Amino acid sequence: MMYAPRDLAAADPAQRKATIAYMKSVVDLTIGLGGEIVTLVPCTVGKLHPTASPQQEWEWVVQGVREVALFAAEKGIRVALEPLNRFETYLITNVSQALQLIEEVKAPNLGVAFDPFHMNIEEPDLIAALRKCGDKLFDFHLGDNNRLAPGDGILEWPLIIQALREIGYTGGLAHEAVPPIDRSPRNAFGAKQMEPEPWDVDEGTLRFLKDHSSSVINEGYYTSLLARSAETILPLIK
């Protein structure tokens, strides 16, 4: 995850260098786990204010992403840029920006990770944005407009799956539900959702989840979200 101080757009060159080293370590970890794709957000998630001119930050990001992508290419790993919504980043917030960065980096193993939760906020036409990715779509996240499971929001999943078929996407569908925690008496202040003692989650990840009004959810609740995703998506891809 791109928590602070990880940031390819940082004004501090040492910070950018450390971020590149971190991303290379993620590539190595991915290989060790038998993975094929690393998702990359160019700057710190939650950073909303630039620290240099747009031209300078863009140049730093192009250089940093290129170094990471070329390192990954040598090891047979693809890198997928994920645009986020404007409330989580100011840099890459839509598909066109991601494709522009890909064009300038000029690494064949660099593509797009499409998260419909984020793009439903930023794109005027979600389906058109998905089609625009074409063969540069490397990864796709399953989550509805409210970050619940597909089918628990307003997104039109038959149209989304149809668009994925039209562009020839054969990659994974990564389940990424980040449900808000009900902190009211209605749900006993989250007791039915949260893991009471998340001992195996590092402090940075836990802080990130809480900053997004969520937390480490318990196995039963997450299983119900996964089942809901399967109920919605499987009939559409068979």
Which residues belong to the active site? Answer: 82, 176
DSSP string, 171-202: S-EEE---PPP--SGGGGGGTTTB-S--TTS-
Q: What angle do CA 76, 79, 82 make, to 5 degrees?
A: 165
- Sign of the four-CA dihedral 104, 17, 86, 77: positive
* Preceding amide of 124 cis, omega within 30: no
DSSP state of 112: E
Q: 191, 195, 199: which is closest to 219 by C-alpha?
A: 195
For 7-110, where are the alpha helices, taking DSSP H only?
13-32, 54-74, 95-105
Give 166's Cβ-side CA count (13 Å radius): 13
